Amino acid sequence: PSKLETEKITRSAPYQNQIKVICGELGIECVDLADSYIESGRRAYFRQGAHWNANGHAIAADAMKKYLSENTELVFREDDASN
C-alpha cells in the first residue's frame, strides 16, 4: 500500500473496535484483517474507491486460511452437516 493507504489502515479504528465488542457480546468470532494489510506492504485497494483489488483479496484469503488453520475447531466439515 502507499504511505497514505497504510496510514488509513489502523489497528484501532473506531469501527473495528465497535465490531469487536458487538461480536464478543454475541459470541461471534471476529478476525481483524488490519494487521495483515499493513504487514503485506502491497496495494490492497483500487485507487478509486474502497474496494479490494486482487492483492486485497489474496491478503484476506491468506489471513483467513492462517486463522482457520490455527483454529481448526471452527472449520466446517462436510460430515458435520449430516449430524
pLDDT at 20: 87
The one-letter amino acid at 42: R
Helix (H) or strand (E) holding 24: helix 14-26
- Higher pLDDT: 59 or 15? It is 59
DSSP 80: G
The pTM is what?
Answer: 0.69
What is the pLDDT at residue 50? 75
Asked if 42 and 52 count as a contact pair (C-beta separation under 8 A), the reply is no
The helix/strand/coil state of 83 is coil
pLDDT beyond 70 at 80 = no
pLDDT digits (tens, 9 = 90+) for 27-50: 998 998 888 988 888 888 888 877
